[in-house]
Amino acid sequence: MAMLEINDLHVNYGMIAALKGISFEVNEGEVISLIGANGAGKTTTLHTLTGLISAKSGSIKFNGVELTKTPAHKIVEMGIAHVPEGRRIFQNLTVLDNLKLGAFTRKDKENIPKDIQDIYERFPRLAERKNQIAGTLSGGEQQMLAMGRALMKFLGCPIFSKCARVILDSKFSVPFIFGFAENNGIDMFDYEERMYRSFNDFFTRKIKPGRRFITKDKNLLVSPSDGKVTAYKITQSDTFIIKNAVYNTASLLRDSKLAKRYEGGYAVIIRLSVDDYHRYCYCADGVKSHNRKINGILHTVNPVVNNYLPVFKENSREYCMIRTEQFGDIIQMEVGALMVGRITNLHTEGGVKVTKGEEKGYFEFGGSTILLLLEKDKVKLCDDLLKNTREGFETKLLQGSVLGESLK
């Protein structure tokens, strides 16, 4: 059964027939475009789907539920949003208030602040203008707000993440690339020059050789990726604390015996924003174990540093152990974020010898996180990193930057 089914739909404006028996269906993960001349019925179709106009006859089913007799606000609650022509934002309210209204029907009120942060990450201009009256925004900014308001209904929904991935993998996403790079200050001079097949093809682009320096000193531990870095002590109860939120390494790894090995060590967290380079490498020389993959909800990673939700325990993640001579056994874990449909690791099998700086994998679109678990008394982390973390700051580092040195 298709997710959305329209069958023999007829819609009239008085005596004028606007739609004359149209039928189509949309399956989960598909992207459908309605193309036609002015007056062909594109807007009427969308208005009827979302309950703004009543159908004369025919059927509209969403996940098997008939919508033709369903009120518009109930259709929104079921998971359908409409970004209208003309934007229709609330002109006299602030950007923030508009986003909050997009989540008005949601029952998970505790998750709304983190989803607003995610919208700001997708549309940085909205973050800059969050307290500005919406009617004073430019046309393009108002369109961002209209899209962000619609997304506020679905950001915690796995189906939304799947649909977003399909769109970002398609050729229809190519026009988004230039504006995204410009708005996020991405210097394309650092990256390979080529044509991109999709937005995700652009997002996973490779950097030019020599743009990231990886030290050859085997006694230095390096950052596996670009990102904002913090480091937290793992307590005797196998927990580490981020901004007053407690994380348990056993639930994170789903292995209490393995978690015990990192008691007294450190959890190093590298948070990637959308403007960072989203390919990552191994942090040290060694032999890797088989990858363990843990499925979960694809929430945004950004709230980790805002004390909203323990996302590490809920997000899709994948990790391996790297057995090293200099730093003991390191856990390197990749955590997926909202709209990251795939974490792609290049080596999933165990017993593989890996080299510091060797590419390990990449994330697709979204803010993401890499977590390193370090055993007690194996690594001396950089003083600046620890000091900044204590004072509540993240340290911006590039892939290959030194995190610490061996205590052997």
Residue given tokens 């007053």 in the structure block: 244
Out of 115, 201, 226, 285, the active site residue is 226
- How far apart CA 236 and CA 376 sit, in angstroms, is 11
Task: Scan for tokens 């205590």, then name that residue.
Answer: 407
CB atoms within 10 A of CB 247: 21
d(CA 4, CA 30): 10
In sequence order, what DSSP letters do the residues of 213-258 get, joined into one string?
A: -----TTEEE-SSSEEEEEEE--TTSEEEETTEEEEHHHHHT-HHH
Please report the beta strands in 235-291, taking only residues with DSSP state E, as ranges in sequence order.
Answer: 239-242, 245-248, 266-272, 279-281, 286-288
Between CA 177 and CA 194 the distance in angstroms is 13
Distances (CA, A) of 161 to 84, 292, 329: 22, 22, 34
Instruction: Give the torsion sign (CA, 19, 20, 21, 23).
Output: negative
368 in catalytic set: yes
Whether 226 sits among the annotated catalytic residues: the reply is yes
Q: Which of 161, 368, 401, 406 is catalytic?
A: 368
Nearest alpha-carbon partner for 161 in 366, 370, 371: 366
- As annotated, the active-site residues are 226, 368
